[in-house]
Amino acid sequence: MARLLRVEYKGAIYHVTVRSNSGGKLYRDDRDREYWLYRLSESAEMHGVKLHLYCIMHNHFHLLVETPRGNLGRFMHSLLTGYTIFFNRRHRAHGHVTQGRYGARLVSGDDYLLKLGRYIHLNPVKVKAVRKLPLGDRIKVLEEYRWSSFLAYVGRQKQPAWLSVEPMMALVGGRAADRQKQYEHYVEAGVADDDAEFQLELKRSARSIGDTEFREDVDRRYAEVLRKTRRPEDAALRQTRTYSVTPEVVLKAVATAAGVEVTELARRRRESPLKAITASLLVRHAGLTQRDIAPLLGLSAGSSVCCQIRLLPEMVRSGGGVEQLMEKAERLIERKQGE
């Protein structure tokens, strides 16, 4: 199946949804949730992304984000990769934590943003078990749910410095001093009312949320992205990935993160985590083949590089700072991409 292409531009606003792999738990306990929030704030700061809303559920999460730099993909890569490494190491797991590719729909219009904010914040009371409760109990669940931005919006929880509340609250209107209470009433009114009209709006397009003119504009942008990435002879419409950093950037990032010279990467033993980290990042960020990577790391063949990459998850689980070293190198690479 062809992968959904992304429409990215400066100032774009997205409703992002991510689900767990195979229906499992995306978070096993509060420590996982707390690390996810930390990673979310770090990734947003690194990529200059504005975080307007979030809601964490047991097997998925929602975000409402704005990208002044037009770099949603890099932001989400940082968030998901960092959390996956943490989750797999902590729970001695391996492989993908999230399901397939994340959903990201462009959003337009004040009315749509406000209704979407309510939709996201109401997720905790829309699960099957809670929907069966009396109205008062459902409102209580909403008011006590710790893992969304709702409590920060209504003043029941301290607002994190990385959460951008003001733009959404301005849409509420009225006196600034009254907006928290007005937003609280607005969201709580949705506990009893599913807002069938907005539910229909959500189904009109897989790529956007907005009026007809906005949806058509997004479709035109999507068609342009498709045209640029499509090879005429490729009937499957597969996307051609472009890599924005050179192998030298990756090598320098790993060396800097480890506090060694670049030449040291090739001198290290075959089982050195530095070789495994570098090989993995050269594939991911520079697009090199394993055969291309071998001479850069002092290895004899591409098969040796393959072995290094396969060993990396176990090295991460074993500790010793491997995860932290890889994250630091990734941050250096991503900063270089953003220049």
Q: pLDDT tens, 37-48?
A: 999 999 999 999
Summarize pLDDT for 22-81 with one digit per residue, the tens.
778 999 999 999 999 999 999 999 999 999 999 999 999 999 999 999 999 999 999 999
The stretch 143-162 carries a mean pLDDT of 96
Q: How far is CA 277 from the centre of its chain?
A: 22
Task: Please name which of 17, 14, 76, 87 lies closest in space to residue 46, comparing C-alpha atoms.
Answer: 76
Question: Residue 26: what are its φ and ψ, rounded to 5°?
Answer: -80, -25
26 assigned to some structural domain: yes
3 assigned to some structural domain: no
- Identify the bridge partners of residue 54 per DSSP, sorted by sequence position: 63
Distance CA(142)–CA(151), nearest Å, equals 9
134 assigned to some structural domain: yes
Q: Residues 111, 204: one domain? A: yes
Name which residue leads in pLDDT, 276 or 313. 276
Q: Residues 285, 322: one domain? A: yes
CB 18 within 8 A of CB 102: yes
Summarize pLDDT for 4-15 with one digit per residue, the tens.
578 999 999 999
pLDDT at 234: 37
Q: Which domain holds residue 260?
A: 247-338
Number of H helices, E strands in the chain: 16, 5
pLDDT at 180: 95
pLDDT at 230: 57
Q: Residues 82, 216: one domain? A: yes
Q: Residues 198, 303: one domain? A: no
End-to-end CA distance of the chain: 34
* 208: pLDDT strictly greater than 90: yes
Residue owning tokens 């199946």: 1
CB atoms within 10 A of CB 123: 19
pTM: 0.70
* 99: pLDDT strictly greater than 90: no
DSSP 209: E
Q: Residues 39, 115: one domain? A: yes
Count of domains for the chain:
2
CATH number of the domain encompassing residue 294: 1.10.1750.10
The stretch 182-204 carries a mean pLDDT of 90
